[in-house]
Structure 1
Amino acid sequence: MTRDTKLILCPVNLRHLKWNTGAYEEAVAMARRRDAKLIVATVAPEMERNLNIRDSGAYWGNELKKFITQNPAEGVELETIVRKGSVHRQIVKLAAERNVDLIVMEAANPKIQDYLLGTTASHVVTHAKCSVYVVRG
C-alpha cells in the first residue's frame, strides 16, 4: 500500500545553491506528481558572519523569495519559511510541527567531498519521524 503524500518539506541552503538545486527540483516534481503542497524552508544562522546583515530572518526571507522567483514551481501550492538556529534541528522540528509526510533534501555540503552523507542529512534521516528522500548532487 502506498502512502498518501500531501505535504513535502524541502530545506534549501541558499549559500550552496550555485552548486546544486537538485533537491528542490526533485521536490517540485514530486509535489506535482502527488498533488502535494510544498514547503520550501531555509535556516538562518543565529549569528551572521557578515556583519552587514542586521536582520537575518528578513535577509534570508528575501533571498528565498528571489530563489523561488528564479525557480518557479508552476502548478504546485508552495509556502516559504525561514527559521533561525541549528540547521539539522530546525529541519526536524519544522517537519514535526507541520506533520510533514516527506522531506526532500541534498546529501551534503558540496564542499565536503570526504563524507558519504553530510552531517545535516544524517541527523535528519536519523531523527525525522517522516520519510526522507536524499538527493545526491
Structure 2
Amino acid sequence: MYKHILIPVALDHEGVVANKIAAGRRLLAEDGRMTLLTVLEDIPGFVAEFVESKPENHLTARIKDELDRLASGADNISTEVITGKPGLKVAEFARENHVDLVIVGSHKPGVRDYLLGSTASRISRRAPCSVFILR
C-alpha cells in the first residue's frame, strides 16, 4: 500500500479523474493521502507581451476550485496547481513531496506517441517512484 499517491489532472482529460481516484483508493494505505495536481504550461514570452495580465484572467484559482470539486471534499485528498512542463514538473513534485506512486492516464499509443512521446511516458521515465498508467 502507498502512503502518498499523486494524480496529475490534465484539463482536457477531466473525465478520467474519477477512475484515477478510484484506483488510488484501492492502492492507498489506511493512513495515506492523495494529491490532485494540475500543471499549467507557461505562456511563451512572445505571447505574454501581447496579453494584458489581469487577476481574473489567471486560471490558477479557477483550476484549484475545480480540483477541489473533483476531490469531493475528501479529507485525504489535497489539490495543487503549479506551472511548467508537465512531464518534468510532475516528477519534480513527486520527488519534493515524497510521493511513492503516481497514477497517470494514457490512451492507446499510436505512431505519433512513439515518435514524440506522451506526457505519461515522460513522467514514467523521470518519476522517482512507481508509476501506474491507467488506460
TM bucket (normalised to shorter chain) is 0.7 to 0.9
Q: Secondary structure at the match of 1:125?
A: helix
1:121–1:55 Cα change, 3 Å: farther
The structure whose Rg is larger is 2
Provide TM-score, normalisation by structure 1: 0.72
Counterpart for residue 41 of structure 1: 37
Percent of residue pairs identical: 21
**CA offsets 1:96-134 (integer angstroms, 9 cap, x no match):** 0111111011114x8x76547x61111111111100011
Q: Secondary structure at the match of 1:105?
A: strand
Q: 1:96-135 alignment to 2 at 5 Å?
A: 96-108=95-107, 114=111, 115=113, 119-135=118-134
Structure 2: which 5+ residue stretches go unaligned?
A: none
Q: Which has more strand, going by share of residues?
A: 2
Q: CA deviation at 1:55?
A: 5.4
Structure 1: which 5+ residue stretches go unaligned?
A: none
Q: Secondary structure at the match of 1:15?
A: helix
Q: 1:51-90 alignment to 2 at 5 Å?
A: 54=54, 58-72=58-72, 74=74, 76-90=75-89
1:71–1:54 Cα change, 3 Å: same
Provide TM-score, normalisation by structure 2: 0.73
Number of equivalences: 126
Q: CA deviation at 1:14?
A: 1.6
1:132–1:54 Cα change, 3 Å: farther
Q: Secondary structure at the match of 2:27?
A: helix
